[in-house]
Structure 1
Amino acid sequence: MFINSSKILFTMMMMLGTLITVTSNSWLGAWMGLEINLLSFIPLMSDNNNFKATEASLKYFLTQALASTVLLFSVILLMLKNNLNSEIMESFSSMILLSSLLLKSGAAPFHFWFPNLMEGMTWMNSLLLMTWQKIAPLMLISYLDQKNLLMVSVILSVIMGAIGGLNQTSLRKLMAFSSINHLGWMMSILNVNESIWLTYFMFYSFLSFVLTFMFNIFKLYQLNQLFNWITQNKMMKFTFFINFLSLGGLPPFLGFFPKWLIIQQLTFCNQYFLMVILMMSTLITLFFYLRICFSAFMLNYYENSWFNLFQHNKIEMNLFLILTFISIFGLIFSSVFYFML
């Protein structure tokens, strides 16, 4: 990704835009930060040698520009509420404001652009879109008091994220629907406990990085590429698919820890209905992750004699094994550390 100085510049500007949004004390300042972030991320996406990347950058610009326009419009309505002196107007404008932020983050029912956009991007850009680009909208959503619309979006996000990934053969679309599902989990705890959603976000970012790091090394984009991949080293294949199960939130692995915290907090708040929906959607995501793992482990595929695992950088492979070790045994250390605090 960092092939020249311009990429480094745009990456720094993208991070600066997010930090401006997060630290801003006015909606206008937050909007300016979002625009800096948007205009810095588009050059990172576009590639003259790849028409899909150029198309994806155009889609992203149009979607985010629409969301920014609606955001600015709703902010102006909020500023006019003192003159209008109407509670209905304030509720209406904050609802529009929340809708624009949901569109920016890719949450359901405004998720239509997200999977198609991911399909035309590189793995490193996809990782940025799934993780860093969600920080600013989620922080702004946490400032709003629109619990009804937010709960509707949470339920739709976890359901659409779970059902959407069932029949996918593209790994990027699979990760996109998984991201929508995890976004629903993060938004469910947004107005209850800020530290928990930040913890969930950090764990999700780490697990997404482990998977996309490996996808990027081996240039894996379709599901059938996983099946005859690393057929010589079965242990390597096993450790790789463990990360899928950890991302899905299977209990022995690290991905279960943030879900455990959210379930515990929702139980304290007596939100049992929401908790049941979240857990049922996670079972569906685990179903298609397990289906991928069973297909890769159980079915017999041709083993290419010319394929060599060690044609790739050994440093990258060792880094992946270290990250996978954290993913497998991280729950033990995290839970011990959590209960010591």
Structure 2
Amino acid sequence: MFLIFLMNSNKMFFYFILFFSTLISISSNSWFGCWIGLEINLLSFIPLISNPLNMLASEAALKYFLTQSIASINFLFLIIFNMIIFFNFKMNNILSIMINSSLLMKLGSAPFHFWFPNIMEGISWMNNFILMTWQKITPMILLSYYYHKNFLMLILIFNVIIGALGGLNQTSLRKLMAFSSINNLGWLISSIMISENLWLFYFIMYMFMISIMCFLFNMLNMLFINQLFTCNINYSIKLFFLINFLSLGGLPPFIGFFPKWIVINFLLFNKMFIISFLFIMMSLIMLFFYIRIIYSSLMFNYMKLKWIKISFKNKFINYINFFSFLSLLSMILSTFFFF
């Protein structure tokens, strides 16, 4: 009992540091302060994902440490180099592209995304949720301070295309959510180029939708698509899957469409028609593989497993009920708000 309490207190300590390291970075008035915050964040997240009883988690922790430390070294070298050469941060094309690249590597953005699905595959759903949401805050805020516009335009196109096409042949739910996160990163980068308030709104909506999905998968202990139709799940839970996946894909009646609608509106206003077209087409591909998961859970049901009924006596299912119907109904309210 004491050992369990000790493990939980250790986790609480690292979660506390993880939270405050982000605040250190985004409230710092120097690039060195931002770098220190990034390093504290890295060193607090590694003990949370590593698990001595699970080799995949330990491998994921090592991969995460190596990629993040390479990006941090690159970031530190470039900010020192920029200060030595220019004495202050003037806009230089090559240096701004390189600084942006190191931050994009920390984000797991395409084309530096190769570590991201592999690490997602090795860690738990709770840690996946942190990696897909909280760990994106610091690099995104730092990216908004000093970015190369044309380079980021190219990167967000890479993100939406690779995120959509990469998830097509995946059977692992964690890898699928990783490619979904890469796709949404393209939308997040475009929103932060428009306005920080819009980015915050999009990010909160994305965090809200991802939290429901990760909690549901964690509660059902789902790791692969085929588990959805071998298990005889209650139809109300299948309905939550339907609502939340379609909301995450950005289908119009649901709340997930609202931030995407605003981003597309700004892109069209600035005459970025090709990027808007790409965003919409890749969202359709994302919806295709979300619908494939929903179809698996709703339509297929093995007769030999009919007697195994998964039911929940969990108080959190009521919260998921509430948030799912909020996702369904709030689009009506947001339509009036937008106009």
Output the TM-score relative to the length of structure 1.
Answer: 0.93
Tell me how far apart the structure 2 counterparts of residues 45 and 322 of structure 1 sit (CA, whole Å).
30
What stretches of structure 1 of length at least 5 have no aligned partner?
A: none
> Structure 2: which amino acid aligns with 1:139?
I
> Structure 1: which amino acid aligns with 2:275?
L
Match of 2:121? 119
Match of 1:129? 131
- 2:100–2:147: 8 Å Cα contact kept in structure 1? no
> Structure 1: which amino acid aligns with 2:218?
N
Match of 1:91? 93
Matched, 1:335 2:339: no
**Percent identity (aligned):** 50
Matched, 1:51 2:52: no
Deviations 1:284-326 (A, max 9, x none): 101111122223323342363543333x333122122112112
Match of 2:263? 262
Structure-to-structure mapping, 1:36-115, within 5 angstroms:
36-82=40-86, 90-115=92-117
Tell me how far apart the structure 2 counterparts of residues 284 and 304 of structure 1 sit (CA, whole Å).
32
Match of 1:28? 32
- 1:253–1:328: 8 Å Cα contact kept in structure 2? yes
Structure-to-structure mapping, 1:141-160, within 5 angstroms:
141-160=143-162
Match of 2:326? 326
Tell me how far apart the structure 2 counterparts of residues 214 and 200 of structure 1 sit (CA, whole Å).
22
Count how many residue pairs are aligned between Structure 1 and Structure 2: 335
> Structure 1: which amino acid aligns with 2:245?
F
Structure-to-structure mapping, 1:276-291, within 5 angstroms:
276-291=277-292
Tell me how far apart the structure 1 counterparts of residues 331 and 89 of structure 2 sit (CA, whole Å).
50
- 2:25–2:38: 8 Å Cα contact kept in structure 1? yes
Tell me how far apart the structure 1 counterparts of residues 58 and 242 of structure 2 sit (CA, whole Å).
32
Structure 2 vs 1, CA of residues 7 and 52 (structure 1 numbering), >3 Å: closer, same or farther?
same
Structure 2 vs 1, CA of residues 338 and 179 (structure 1 numbering), >3 Å: closer, same or farther?
same
> Structure 1: which amino acid aligns with 2:124?
T
Structure-to-structure mapping, 1:88-237, within 5 angstroms:
90-231=92-233, 233-237=234-238
Q: After the TM superposition, which of the residue ranges 37-46 and 288-297 deviates more from structure 2? A: 288-297
Deviations 1:204-248 (A, max 9, x none): 0000000000111110000001113344x3233123222111101
> Structure 1: which amino acid aligns with 2:221?
K
Structure 2 vs 1, CA of residues 87 and 195 (structure 1 numbering), >3 Å: closer, same or farther?
closer
Tell me how far apart the structure 2 counterparts of residues 63 and 24 of structure 1 sit (CA, whole Å).
24
> Structure 1: which amino acid aligns with 2:113?
H
Alpha carbon RMSD of aligned pairs, Å?
2.0
Q: After the TM superposition, which of the residue ranges 282-291 and 112-121 deviates more from structure 2? A: 282-291
- 2:50–2:57: 8 Å Cα contact kept in structure 1? yes
Deviations 1:75-128 (A, max 9, x none): 012102326x9979x322221100000000011000000000000000000000
SS, match of residue 108 in structure 1: coil
Deviations 1:120-145 (A, max 9, x none): 00000000000000000000111113
Structure 2 vs 1, CA of residues 239 and 145 (structure 1 numbering), >3 Å: closer, same or farther?
closer
> Structure 1: which amino acid aligns with 2:71?
A
Output the TM-score relative to the length of structure 2.
Answer: 0.94
- 2:231–2:301: 8 Å Cα contact kept in structure 1? no
- 2:241–2:294: 8 Å Cα contact kept in structure 1? no
Matched, 1:7 2:41: no
Tell me how far apart the structure 2 counterparts of residues 213 and 333 of structure 1 sit (CA, whole Å).
26
> Structure 1: which amino acid aligns with 2:82?
L
Structure-to-structure mapping, 1:232-251, within 5 angstroms:
233-251=234-252
Tell me how far apart the structure 2 counterparts of residues 49 and 299 of structure 1 sit (CA, whole Å).
34
Tell me how far apart the structure 1 counterparts of residues 89 and 102 of structure 2 sit (CA, whole Å).
22
Structure 2 vs 1, CA of residues 82 and 304 (structure 1 numbering), >3 Å: closer, same or farther?
same
> Structure 2: which amino acid aligns with 1:37?
N
- 2:125–2:217: 8 Å Cα contact kept in structure 1? yes
- 1:230–1:236: 8 Å Cα contact kept in structure 2? no
Return the offset for 1:265: 1.2
Return the offset for 1:153: 0.7
Deviations 1:132-172 (A, max 9, x none): 00000000111113011111110000000000000100000
